[in-house]
Amino acid sequence: MSVLRVEREKSEDGEDQYTVVESEMAPAWKADQDLAIVGKPIPRVEGDLKVTGRAQYAYDVRLSGQLYAKVLRSPHPHARITRIDTSQAEKLRGVRAVLSRASGPTVSWFEDTELFSEVVRYVGEEVAAVAADSEEVAEDALRLIEVTYEPLPFVMDPEAALKPDAPKIHKDGNIAGEPQDYERGDAGAGFQQADVVIEHRYTTQAALHNCLEPHGCTATWEGDHLTIWDSTQSIFDVRQEVAARLTMPEHRVRVIKQFMGGGFGSKQIAWKHTAIAALLSKRAGRPVQLMLDREAENLATGNRNPTRQHVKIGARKDGTLVAIEAEIVLATGAYQVGGEAAAVDGPYQTLYRCENVKTRQTAVYVNAGPAVAFRAPGYVEGAFALESAMDELARTLDMDPLALRFKNYSDVDQKEGKPYSSPDGLRRCYDAVADAFQWQAARTRGPQETGTKRRGIGLAGHDWIGGSGKPPGYAWVKLNADGSADVVAGTHDIGTGSRTGLLQVAAEELGLPFDQVALHIGDTAYGPYAPVSSGSATQATIGPAIQAAAVDAKRQLFEVAAPMLEVSPHDLELRDGAVRVKGQTGRQMAIAEVLGKIQPHMIQGQGSRGANPPDKTVHTFGAQAVEVEVDIETGEVTILRVVAAHDCGRIINPMMVESQVIGAVTQGIGFALTEERIVDQGRGMVMNANLENYFVPTVMDVPEIVNVPVDFPDPIANPTGAKGIGESPLIPTAPAIANAVYDAIGVRIYQTPLSRPQILAALAKRRTNGTSNHADVHGKVAH
Amino acid sequence: MHLVSFRLNGDERSLAVEPRRTLLDALRVDLGLTGTKKVCDMGDCGACTVLVDGRAVYSCLILTVDCEDREVTSIEGLGLADPASTNGEAALDPVQRAFIETDAYQCGFCTPGQIMSITALLSEQRAPSEDEIRRAISGNLCRCGAYQNIVRAGQRAAELFATTAATSPTGGPR
């Protein structure tokens, strides 16, 4: 259904703002509704393509005459390019196109820079590109390009970058945008009422996405029409961006993405390589494939921003929080690329009931690759610090950490002043985890000790701004004459199982068997607009749009069938592929029979995603408990078990949800223990831009991860009652592990990753200083 | 350019390659078999795992010119058309079926390599322990974190082979 109306409002700065109000959504499935297809563990519909190697990723496109491109990257963290000579490269046999500042068109890019800038601001920034008959020849050609750099002073550490005498990375200095300030109540007055204050500096590392399929694309021109197979989470954003940068109308750019080898947030924007491939292809007159190698992937296509967080929380002796304060500095890299979205301050503002909260978040430029959203951006970093501090508070007050969390439980979004659509969501997760982990029994048992091994337990909870979905989102449903249906949407399956989950919604609402519905996605040319697949939004944005389109198709079908069955359209329902008269068994017609009487006319339903509830906040929640074993001789942490419970509303497909939970926890284990981009501060170079020295978890590093399904339909959120699950289970893993490590060895680690050297150093410090390293705890509990 | 001849997925193949062409690039670029994936190109991730003479190898670490007269099996060689099929469809190999049943993947990019590693294990050890399965895929990274289900897929594949005893895993001793 199309736009219903547009509402005009004045914004704060006096500009007209238009809010689009689209179709009413479908009637909500009731929380206890008996659903036939939704809720079933249906295996992924694309399974056979993935297990046979036939699923086509951007990297797998093979076109006649296809060339292969490579990019020359800056070896300097900050430098001015004074000369480029590509003539020798151009003469190499097999080289078909070369692009650089010296020879390419001027294309504007991030902030006020260009596709190939005069000043490069990190090791790995694009300097030139070559398309050749093979990757090997393209690499040979890169070595023949002569570049003269005038090195400039650089800074790699965000706190050093804030000092007045730090080298300036951009002309206005090193603060990226405005600091983000938030305050409610009076934190200073709150701390006056505190019996206990926990205050520490927490740091989190730069983590690299390391999607197994690197960023990249294959681009080809047919006349003035450009087609791009891109490894992206957002085909429409890539189309819009490429068209704008290359000054083309959008209808001449088509972007296709059927399968993608991981994104985790890093593929949610259009990166330079896509425009470079398009320009090389135009110049060479042949298709060009430009896929980044692993080093470039780790230098130039995003990272989870490293943070420094100064955190202070105050509580009364009964555990009631009276004040929370967080001063956050994060490194956004050399550029703001438009997909950072890191709300490190988020958990401080909303996870706990507290009247007095003050946060400041400052993003800082450094001479490193740009940061970009990484699965639950900001919340992973913020929750590590806040949930570590809460554990320390519980220890100091001699309270059960779980009881402390219930004591400060919030039913409302205190930032927006609205109740949650599912105020019991987090409570259910805590209960589910406590029960499945047998938290109280494990707590009573206490830490265990065998030889050099120490075992301990820890937990953490979280909220998350993602998972709600929101408008816009569109879908079409075509009912075929044989009674089958095609669903078309411009969205993507980024590996999360969206194809299957969305099809379940379609089949359920249409009353068709699952295998009678096909879903077509991932192509800007043949589907309605869809937003980026990020923020765990796809199921909750596109699902309701598909549901609305199915309702629209059904309404039309009933109009057609009513005279055939001699009843009013309102008396009809659709079940098991047949139009039936409600309450009368036997009076029915198969869809194929109805449509057979009107063909070649057919029914096409349209649906859009309606608004979220204006008076409620839709968030997702979760909790995890872990048991670890620490070897105090080697510092090695072994995760023995993880129990996770996450509220994602109605579970559309328990198999897909469980896979998301297990996968996110696995990434959380990597973030907590081993993953860290290591930078040589003196040379400005990343030392481990590969999979040999950047340690993502292997099968040997992960224990049994138990997912406790929390099937808690949220019909207020949207009519399907489902919310997203992709990101949230990564949030509480690292603090739960850190808290378990403390339980095991009595030493708290205030930074991620909790590496072996960190743990050994902390243990050594405790041996020298006494029993605890809770050195910064102010105040005493009055007993 | 060097002319190399080897047996690929049961067929004799000859191709002319530069000496520096890896088996991975020969498969993906020269032969158009893109099921084998390129991720790190330096032997760290296992996404390019294929079978050479029945053993799992990283195809990015082996040169095409070293494959003369050898038997190479890629993901495209599993579950080949069954001549006895009554519906004319190619059947999936038990390892492939097990991956679908247990949801042992998410994005699917590491999947062909994982399947080849488990196939190599099952051709040597028909009833592997969980630890043996873990070791078999310990050189195959999965960034989506599907390991738990990949291990289950290995166990399930062993069960499927046991119940269809006549079928030998592709690439195994015949």
Does the beta-carbon distance from B140 to A699 stay under 8 Å? yes
**CATH code assigned at B118:** 1.10.150.120
Which CA distances in Å does A610 have to A556, A647, B164?
A: 20, 22, 51
pLDDT reported for residue A772: 55
Helix axes B111-124, B94-102, angle to 10 degrees: 130
Q: Worst-scoring range by mean pLDDT, A20-29, A457-466, A714-723?
A: A20-29
Reported as a single tens digit per residue, the pLDDT across A94-148 is 999 999 999 888 999 988 899 999 999 999 999 999 999 999 999 999 999 999 9
Tell me how far apart the alpha carbons of residues A39 and A505 are, in angstroms, rounded to a whole number.
10
How far B124 CA lies from chain A's nearest CA (Å)?
Answer: 21
pLDDT reported for residue B166: 45
pLDDT reported for residue A340: 81
Count of structural domains within chain B: 2
Any domain includes B47:
yes
How far A45 CA lies from chain B's nearest CA (Å)?
Answer: 9
pLDDT reported for residue B86: 61
Reported as a single tens digit per residue, the pLDDT across A535-570 is 999 999 999 999 999 999 999 999 999 999 999 999
Does the beta-carbon distance from A212 to B109 stay under 8 Å? yes
Q: Worst-scoring range by mean pLDDT, A47-56, B80-89, B156-165?
A: B80-89
- Do B98 and B147 lie in one domain? The reply is yes
Go through chain B and tell me how many residues it has: 174
Domain boundary at B76, B110, B130, which?
Answer: B76
Tell me how far apart the alpha carbons of residues A692 and B100 are, in angstroms, rounded to a whole number.
30
Q: What is the DSSP letter of A143?
A: H
Tell me how far apart the alpha carbons of residues B26 and A467 are, in angstroms, rounded to a whole number.
43
CB contacts < 8 A, A to B, total: 166
Reported as a single tens digit per residue, the pLDDT across B133-142 is 999 999 999 9
Interface of A with B in 479-508 (CB under 8 A): 494-497
- Do B65 and B109 lie in one domain? The reply is no
pLDDT reported for residue B165: 56
Helix axes A756-769, A733-745, angle to 10 degrees: 40
Is the pLDDT at A436 greater than 80? The verdict is yes
Between A46, A134, A699, which is nearest B150 by CB? A699
Domain boundary at B46, B76, B106, which?
Answer: B76
- Do B103 and B71 lie in one domain? The reply is no
pLDDT reported for residue A253: 98
Reported as a single tens digit per residue, the pLDDT across A330-340 is 999 999 998 88
A190: contact with B, CB 8 A cutoff: no
B66: contact with A, CB 8 A cutoff: no
Tell me how far apart the alpha carbons of residues A129 and A290 are, in angstroms, rounded to a whole number.
10
| Type of residue numbered A109 | W
Q: Worst-scoring range by mean pLDDT, A13-27, A413-427, A496-510, A613-627?
A: A13-27
Domain boundary at B76, B103, B124, which?
Answer: B76
**Chain A residues whose beta carbon lies within 8 Å of the beta carbon of residue B143:** 209-212, 262, 264, 667, 696
Reported as a single tens digit per residue, the pLDDT across A576-597 is 889 999 998 889 999 999 999 9
Is the pLDDT at B78 greater than 60? The verdict is yes
pLDDT reported for residue B146: 98
How far B165 CA lies from chain A's nearest CA (Å)?
Answer: 22
Q: Which residue in A303, A361, A370, A387 sits closest to A671, CA to CA?
A: A303
Chain B residue with CA closest to A498: the answer is: B106
Interface mutation vs chain A, best among B114, B148, B149, B156, most A CBs within 10 Å:
B148
Does the beta-carbon distance from B146 to A54 stay under 8 Å? no
Any domain includes B124:
yes
Tell me how far apart the alpha carbons of residues A177 and A179 are, in angstroms, rounded to a whole number.
7
How sure is the predictor about A258, in pLDDT bands with cuts at 50, 70 and 90? very high
pLDDT reported for residue A768: 86
Does the beta-carbon distance from A667 to B145 stay under 8 Å? yes
Tell me how far apart the alpha carbons of residues A556 and A564 are, in angstroms, rounded to a whole number.
13
- Do B8 and B47 lie in one domain? The reply is yes
Any domain includes B159:
yes
Q: Which residue in A392, A402, A408 sits closest to A779, CA to CA?
A: A392
Reported as a single tens digit per residue, the pLDDT across B2-22 is 999 999 999 999 999 999 999
> In this structure, what token pair is assigned to residue A579?
């139009």
How sure is the predictor about A10, in pLDDT bands with cuts at 50, 70 and 90? confident
**CATH code assigned at B58:** 3.10.20.30
A727 is catalytic: yes
How far A668 CA lies from chain B's nearest CA (Å)?
Answer: 10
Does the beta-carbon distance from B96 to A656 stay under 8 Å? no
Does the beta-carbon distance from B144 to A54 stay under 8 Å? no
Tell me how far apart the alpha carbons of residues B23 and A6 are, in angstroms, rounded to a whole number.
58
Q: Worst-scoring range by mean pLDDT, A267-281, A455-469, B75-89?
A: B75-89
Residue whose structure tokens are 């921003």: A305
Q: Which residues, at least 6 apart from A498, have a Cβ–Cβ distance to it below 8 Å?
A: A491, A492, A521, A533, A538, A539, A542
Any domain includes B86:
no
pLDDT reported for residue A14: 82
Reported as a single tens digit per residue, the pLDDT across B32-67 is 999 999 999 999 999 999 999 999 999 999 999 999
Is the pLDDT at A155 greater than 90? The verdict is yes
Residue A159 backbone dihedrals phi, psi, to 5 degrees: -75, -35
Is the pLDDT at A776 greater than 50? The verdict is no
- Do B57 and B105 lie in one domain? The reply is no
Does the beta-carbon distance from A53 to B76 stay under 8 Å? yes
Average pLDDT over residues B92-97: 95
Q: What is the mean pLDDT of chain B?
A: 92
**Chain B residues whose beta carbon lies within 8 Å of the beta carbon of residue A705:** 148
Average pLDDT over residues A363-378: 98
Q: Which residues pair with A420 in a beta bridge?
A: A617
pLDDT reported for residue A774: 52
Residue A59, classed as helix, strand or coil, is helix
CA-based end-to-end distance of chain B = 34
A34: contact with B, CB 8 A cutoff: no
Chain A residue with CA closest to B110: the answer is: A212
Interface mutation vs chain B, best among A50, A63, A133, most B CBs within 10 Å:
A50
Does the beta-carbon distance from B106 to A659 stay under 8 Å? yes
Any domain includes B103:
yes
Q: Which residue in A245, A251, A242, A244 sits closest to A224, CA to CA?
A: A251
How sure is the predictor about A16, in pLDDT bands with cuts at 50, 70 and 90? confident
Interface of A with B in 681-740 (CB under 8 A): 690-692, 696-700, 702, 704-705
The CA-based angle A365-A369-A371, given to 5 degrees, is 70
Chain B residue with CA closest to A45: the answer is: B100
Q: Cα–chain-centroid distance for residue A141?
A: 37
B42: contact with A, CB 8 A cutoff: yes
pLDDT reported for residue B167: 53
Is the pLDDT at A741 greater than 80? The verdict is yes
Q: Which residue in A71, A65, A221, A215 sits closest to A133, CA to CA?
A: A65
> In this structure, what token pair is assigned to residue A488?
């078309």
Any domain includes B82:
no
Between B35, B47, B147, which is nearest A52 by CB? B35
**Chain B residues whose beta carbon lies within 8 Å of the beta carbon of residue A699:** 134, 137-138, 140, 142, 147, 150-151
Interface mutation vs chain A, best among B109, B114, B132, B155, most A CBs within 10 Å:
B109
B21: contact with A, CB 8 A cutoff: yes
Q: What is the mean pLDDT of chain A?
A: 95
With beta carbons less than 8 A apart as the criterion, state whether A233 and A503 touch. no
- Do B41 and B104 lie in one domain? The reply is no
Containing structural domain, residue B146: 94-163
Q: Alpha-carbon torsion A317, A319, A323, A324, what sign?
A: positive
Q: What domains appear along chain A, each with residue ranges and CATH number?
A: 5-56+469-608 (3.30.365.10), 61-152+213-261+267-300 (3.90.1170.50), 307-467+615-769 (3.30.365.10)
Tell me how far apart the alpha carbons of residues B158 and A504 are, in angstroms, rounded to a whole number.
31
**Chain A residues whose beta carbon lies within 8 Å of the beta carbon of residue B144:** 262, 495, 659, 663
Residue A244, classed as helix, strand or coil, is helix
ipTM summary value: 0.96
B4: contact with A, CB 8 A cutoff: no
How far B57 CA lies from chain A's nearest CA (Å)?
Answer: 17
Is the pLDDT at A778 greater than 80? The verdict is no
- Do B8 and B67 lie in one domain? The reply is yes
**Chain A residues whose beta carbon lies within 8 Å of the beta carbon of residue B9:** none
Does the beta-carbon distance from B144 to A46 stay under 8 Å? no
**Chain B residues whose beta carbon lies within 8 Å of the beta carbon of residue A93:** none
Percent of chain A with pLDDT over 90: 91
Does the beta-carbon distance from A213 to B75 stay under 8 Å? no
Any domain includes B171:
no
Q: Which value, in Å, is the radius of gyration of the alpha carbons in chain B?
A: 16
Does the beta-carbon distance from B18 to A667 stay under 8 Å? no
Any domain includes B174:
no
Which CA distances in Å does A188 have to A326, A361, A416, B89, B110?
A: 12, 18, 22, 73, 52
Kind plus residue range of the DSSP H or E element containing B147: helix B147-163
Is the pLDDT at A779 greater than 70? The verdict is no
